[in-house]
Homo-oligomer: A and B are copies of this chain.
Amino acid sequence: MQDKLMLMIPGPTPVAESTLLALAKAPIGHRTPEFSAIFADAIAKLKWLHQTANDVLILAASGTGAMEAGIINFLSKGDRVLVGDNGKFGERWAEVCDAYGLQTERLRAEWGQPLDPEAFRVALEADTAKTIAAVIVTHSETSAGVLNDLETINRHVKKHGRALMMVDAVTSLGATNVPVDAWGLDVVASGSQKAYAIPPGLGFVAVSAKAWAAYQTANLPRYYLDLGKYRKDAAKDTTPFTPAINLIVALQASLTQMQQEGLANIFCPPPTATNATRAAMKALGLGLLADDAHASDAITAVVPPAGLEAEKIRKALQQKFDIAMAGGQDHLKGKVFRMGHLGFVSDRDVLTAIAALEATLQGLAWSFPSGAGSPRQSPT
């Protein structure tokens, strides 16, 4: 049905009407006190969400642009980096490192499995010469619905002393607790179309004092993604290049709403959307790619058993109920479907999606106890 789309993908996520109306306001000039006030307020709220006193910089770019900026501003050619790779995004950050001539070491796990913190500990402890300049980890691996154990990996990085902890928090920040200062994360990148619940086009990077110290000698070439320029101008409540004005106005609106909800509520306290989704999938006889202990709060990757096809389920959900879920990426294409549950998504949305999935499975002649998904395991 026209305009009836319900987004249950890992981004873009649904956007509140108030945010859309903020987005639609006629733009104002960006070199004005009025815009500077909005910009400064948005940054203050970003710091609140990041639980940090560090700089949080705003780029007109996707999450990939933000993460690339987070990597290339603090490293030099030939630097040794450890990159966790258990999905499409871990792979991507290793590719970025390769593109810039870093000495890239991949610590791998299968898609659906978490990264092994022990592998990081061993590599970091063996590095007595302190040659490792950075450890790069994707917190919530969107391609597989896995939440990596950032806290433990970061503890090993802290013990190492030299290495910077660089985090892709694109689908964790705002959906999962990421206490940037408490953990001492050096670089944390995220993107607007995820838990921020605004349309895509903005990337965010939080940068620690330790990372800024590394910036002084880092020599990888950059200009548009030069975070030093953003930092310098942010101190004057402005930007080095024309900012994505309307998206920043929308960001301010959405962050205001998030503040009203409060940190404790937006970090999915139990029973979470995640838990409800996972319990329902199990009750419906569907498999889960990630185990419960490493489940992303943003996205659940579902493995239909033999006799059910992921793409058929997705298509039916879309055609009959106007619900969009995501397919699998790369080698998981056709093997999983992925339900997003982050951003402006309420318990009602999760219930709705599960009820529709139940009806869809019935339509595909999949047998399970009727109502298995929704009522018993509903969020309360």
Is A220 in contact with B221, judged by CB distance below 8 angstroms? yes
| Interface of A: prevailing SS | loop
A273: min CB distance to chain B, Å: 19
Q: Mark A216-258, 1 if CB is under 8 A from B, else 0.
A: 0000111111100000000000000111111100000000000
Interface pair B27/A244, CB less than 8 Å apart: no
Residues of B within 8 Å of A200, CB to CB, are 27, 30, 60, 242-246
5 A-B contacts (beta carbon < 8 Å): A32-B324, A62-B241, A100-B221, A101-B221, A200-B246
Separation in Å of the A251 CB from the closest CB of chain B? 12
Chain A residues within 8 Å of chain B by Cβ, number: 54
Chain B positions within 8 Å of A61 at CB level = 60-61, 65, 224
B245 touches A199 (CB 8 A): yes
Q: How far is the CA of A65 from the CA of B225 in the complex (A)?
A: 8
Rounded to whole angstroms, the CA-CA distance of A378 and B94 in the bound complex is 60
Kindly identify, within residues 15 to 73 of chain A, every residue whose CB is under 8 Å from any CB belonging to chain B: 15, 20-21, 23-32, 60-65, 68
Known contacts A62-B241, A242-B191; is-contact A223 B95 (Cβ 8 Å): yes
A64–B246 CA distance with the chains assembled, in angstroms: 18
Asked if A193 is at the interface of the complex by the 8 Å CB criterion, the answer is: yes
Q: A27-B200, A220-B221 are in contact. Are A63 and B242 (CB under 8 A)?
A: yes
Contact with B along A123-141 (1 / 0, CB 8 A): 0000000000000000000
Query: A82 near B: Cβ within 8 Å?
Result: no
Of the 9-residue stretches A5-13, A275-283, A290-298, A358-366, which lies at the interface with chain B?
A5-13
Instruction: Say how far A23's CB is from chain B's closest CB, in angstroms.
Output: 6
Instruction: Decide yes or no whether A326 CB sits under 8 A from chain B.
Output: yes
A298 CB → nearest B CB, Å: 14
A14 at the interface (CB under 8 A from B): yes
Question: In the complex, what distance in Å separates the CA atom of A29 from the CA atom of B23?
Answer: 18
CA distance A100 to B221 in the complex (A): 5
A: residues with CB less than 8 A from B are 3, 5, 7, 9, 11-12, 14-15, 20-21, 23-32, 60-65, 68, 95-96, 99-101, 191, 193, 199-201, 220-226, 241-247, 324, 326-327
Give the contacting residue for A62; candidates B21, B60, B96; CB below 8 A: B60
Compute how far the CA of A142 lies from the CA of B3 in the bound complex, rounded to whole angstroms: 40
Whether B27 lies near A12 (C-beta < 8 A) is: yes
Q: Least Cβ distance of A5 to chain B in Å? A: 6
A175 to B51, CA, bound (A): 45
A126 to chain B, nearest CB (A): 29
**Do the beta carbons of A27 and B15 come within 8 Å of each other?**
yes
B residues less than 8 Å from A243 (CB atoms): 62, 200
